[in-house]
């Protein structure tokens, strides 16, 4: 996606968030212990995306912003991480969620495949919903995944073009975690044997890990597992 690509998709008056996955607590999706929400729908559709099942705007659980914020706060974690899919394609209802979480003293981290320039232009063109989500975000990770620019040094991102942008001074230490946090991968097996994976790993390492629990993921050419705007704007979903 070039920097001149379309602005975030208008939510068309949506009063709910389309949630693909809610993870109550994780250490793999940003600094500290966080609650992660993957949204359903993304119009960017980066080549090499590890989560193409999150592209469609059909599906997901429709949750009212107040109810989703309550679930986040009830988790008692350090903050909220928004991934996808593409959070800014649901900017309006997510802004309400993020604002309520911040008002409770928690931090908000938002991943996006849009560039900061695209988001700034959208705000200048009158997209108040985009401006509201930016205003309710403490740490932004911006930029599309580039399969030819894999980032093996920084945590949480997939390619070297993606940037960390501190949008508030409420949690100045959030950026410190970028230099001292390793990539992590988390595997959860529920009582029914359903395997869920989130975080970041080389595909070969992920294959070996899931094979050890009797599951094998579908391959994405040249991709890691995506966290935020890694190969796909979201952590790896269920297998």
> What tens-digit pLDDT sequence spans the chain (239 residues)?
445 556 788 766 679 999 999 999 999 899 999 999 999 999 999 888 878 899 999 999 999 999 999 999 999 999 999 999 999 999 999 999 999 999 999 999 999 999 999 999 999 999 999 999 999 999 999 999 988 988 888 888 888 899 999 999 988 888 887 766 666 667 767 777 676 676 665 566 666 666 666 655 544 333 333 334 443 333 433 32
pLDDT at position 12, please? 60
SS3 67: helix
pLDDT at position 206, please? 61
pLDDT at position 184, please? 61
pLDDT at position 10, please? 77
SS3 174: helix
pLDDT at position 104, please? 98
Query: What CA–CA distance (Å, rounded) separates 101 from 81?
Result: 11
The torsion angles phi and psi of 62, rounded to 5 degrees, stand at -85, 120
**Cβ distance 21 to 39 under 8 Å?**
no
Query: What CA–CA distance (Å, rounded) separates 223 from 56?
Result: 20
Residues in a beta bridge with 111: 141
Query: What CA–CA distance (Å, rounded) separates 110 from 228?
Result: 8
Q: Which domains does the chain have, with CATH numbers?
A: 17-183+226-233 (3.20.20.70)
pLDDT at position 227, please? 38
Query: What CA–CA distance (Å, rounded) separates 36 from 22?
Result: 6
Cis peptide before 85 (omega within 30 of 0): yes
* Whole-structure pTM value: 0.80
């Amino acid at each position: 996606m070039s920097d001149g690509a379309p602005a975030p998709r208008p939510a068309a008056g949506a009063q709910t968030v389309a949630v693909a996955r809610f993870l109550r607590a994780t250490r793999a999706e940003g600094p500290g212990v966080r609650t992660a929400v993957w949204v359903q729908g993304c119009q960017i559709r980066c080549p090499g995306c590890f989560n193409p099942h999150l592209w469609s705007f059909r599906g997901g659980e429709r949750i009212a912003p107040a109810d989703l914020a309550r679930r986040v706060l009830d988790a008692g974690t350090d903050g909220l991480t928004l991934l996808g899919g593409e959070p800014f394609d649901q900017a309006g209802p997510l802004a309400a969620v993020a604002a309520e979480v911040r008002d409770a003293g928690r931090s908000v981290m938002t991943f996006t495949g849009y560039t900061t320039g695209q988001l700034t232009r959208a705000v200048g063109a009158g997209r108040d919903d985009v401006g509201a989500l930016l205003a309710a975000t403490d740490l932004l990770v911006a930029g599309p995944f580039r399969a030819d620019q894999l980032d093996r040094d920084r945590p949480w991102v997939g390619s070297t073009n993606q940037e960390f942008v501190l949008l508030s001074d409420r949690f100045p230490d959030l950026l410190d975690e970028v230099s001292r946090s390793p990539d992590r991968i988390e595997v959860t097996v529920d009582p029914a044997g359903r395997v869920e994976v989130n975080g970041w790993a080389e595909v070969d390492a992920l294959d070996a890990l899931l094979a050890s629990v009797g599951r094998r993921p579908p391959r994405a050419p040249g991709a890691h597992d995506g966290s935020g705007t890694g190969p796909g704007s979201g952590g790896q979903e269920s297998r």
